[in-house]
Amino acid sequence: MTKKGNKMKHNLIIMFVLYVTVSLFGYDKKEAENNIIPKKEITTSVLKEGKKAADFTLKTLDGKNVKLSDYKGKVVIIDFWATWCPPCRKGVPDLVDIQKEYKDNLVIIGISLDQQNTLKDLAPFIKNYGINYPVVLGTQQVVTDYGNIRSIPTSFVIDQSGNIVDTHVGLVQKSTYTNKINQLLKKS
């Protein structure tokens, strides 16, 4: 099989696994409308809490570099997501609100796992949802570095020293994030 064929096969497998995962851990529409965490949410340590977050340099759609270590001293939320993922779409407005509320002490970095067939949807999605934080294009390396992300959304809360202090797989209530952020800001 050619290199291009292998890459295409690899991308199809990743998309299939993510699709199945979202289907299995999806959300109930009524619960989502009431902003309640779905009963199927899994909170697990993809990476152990207390571990240093892996540094990365990833590109935005316009080619700018975003480097995690540039935000040392701030609380960081890393959100692995994609435009086609219903729970991801549901969580974005809360992340926009959180970024607005904590703009001086926090940065959210959205790591898009959209592939070639949905990448064209990313710029309109960012505009339509009013995303006010950096959105970068994920790579296989960053997926691996963060515990081989198997389900989206998956998010990590990183403290001001660069340590992972909270990990979530699935849709997360806004208050879960804000409680953790407030706790971290009181310590500093």
Is 170 known to be catalytic?
A: no
Instruction: Point out the catalytic residue in the list 46, 53, 88, 131.
Output: 88
- 60-83 burial, b if ≥16 CB within 10 A, otherwise e? beeeeebebeebeebbbbbbbbbb
Which residue of the set 18, 68, 77, 85 is catalytic?
A: 85
88 catalytic? Reply is yes
146-149: list long-range contacts, CB under 8 Å, 24+ apart. Answer: 146/46, 146/47, 146/54, 146/78, 146/80, 147/46, 147/47, 148/46, 149/46, 149/80, 149/113
Q: Which residue has the tokens 């890393």?
A: 78
Residues acting as catalytic residues: 85, 88
